[in-house]
């Protein structure tokens, strides 16, 4: 076991699978204690069994402020404070703008952007109250910077995450609270598998990724560990592109691919 996060307490939203789970496992291996939050209660119960006593779990809908506040309170009650947070909960829909429903738009913006706002708000309040500073990491996306066809809601939400990361870093720096983002490209997770497995889609992503592979949750977890650690003590207000240099090229033409 490493010790880069020894004695630190973290909350992770969207922590039952994918990127959130990989970050949780990496933080645990480095000595942190965790509150793992997710909307999937059965999967959270499974993670509790797998990960052990240094993890507390909480079923949380990040769109509901009272539940987010309770998540943060659990970290204090169970482990004595809050030093780190990773806001990873998210989802996406796909539809051209002219066909995108209001319900789809609201769902994506509420989970991906409002959820980050509410989480950041209560995490920062507790860190400020604790008086010892902290680090908050928001999971954005390549689509915060690069538009994707049929992804207007997701692109808008993730662009908002990138900007709220900068605003929060500006406001909270005086409290020694660092706020950073990570913008992954295509990463193999349960969320991306249905899209990536459609004919031609994975190949199109790879063609537009100079390093020639999709990402893994472990790639993102390694970056999150750096940003959470003291090695990044002067890093704040920036969002790290983690996409195999896909940001240097163009996004796949999904409308052509999905039209068959």
Active-site residue set: 154
Short-list 55, 139, 53, 150, CA closest to 99: 150
Interatomic CA distance for residues 196 and 178, integer angstroms: 34
Strands of 239-242's sheet in order across: 55-59, 33-38, 9-13, 84-87, 134-139, 177-184, 239-242
Tokens read off for 185: 């490209």
Q: Torsions phi, psi of 85, nearest 5? A: -150, 140
Question: Contacts by 97-101 with C-beta closer than 8 Å and gap 24+?
Answer: 97/152, 100/152, 100/153
Half-sphere exposure of 256 (CA within 13 A, CB side): 5
Q: Are 157 and 100 in contact (CB under 8 A)?
A: no
What residues pair up with 187 in beta bridges, in sequence order? 215
């Amino acid at each position: 076991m490493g010790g880069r996060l020894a004695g630190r307490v973290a909350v992770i939203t969207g922590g039952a699978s994918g990127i959130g789970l990989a970050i949780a496992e990496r933080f645990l291996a480095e000595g942190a204690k965790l509150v793992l939050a997710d909307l999937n209660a059965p999967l959270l119960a499974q993670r509790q069994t797998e990960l052990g006593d240094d993890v507390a779990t909480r079923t949380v809908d990040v769109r509901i402020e009272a539940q987010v506040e309770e998540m943060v309170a659990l970290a204090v009650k169970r482990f004595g404070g809050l030093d780190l947070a990773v806001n990873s909960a998210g989802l996406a829909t796909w539809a051209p703008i002219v066909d995108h429903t209001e319900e789809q738009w609201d769902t994506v913006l509420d989970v991906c952007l409002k959820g980050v706002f509410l989480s950041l708000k209560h995490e920062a309040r507790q860190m400020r109250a604790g008086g010892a500073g902290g680090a908050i990491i928001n999971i954005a996306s390549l689509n915060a910077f690069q538009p994707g066809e049929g992804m207007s809601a997701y692109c808008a939400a993730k662009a908002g995450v990138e900007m709220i990361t900068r605003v929060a870093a500006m406001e909270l720096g005086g409290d020694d609270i660092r706020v950073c983002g990570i913008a992954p490209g295509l990463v193999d997770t349960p969320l991306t598998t249905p899209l990536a497995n459609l004919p031609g889609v994975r190949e199109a992503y790879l063609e537009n990724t100079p390093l020639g592979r999709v990402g893994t949750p472990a790639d993102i977890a390694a970056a999150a560990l750096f940003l959470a650690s003291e090695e990044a003590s002067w890093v704040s207000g920036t969002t790290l592109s983690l996409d195999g240099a896909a940001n240097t090229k163009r996004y796949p033409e999904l409308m052509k691919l999905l039209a068959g």
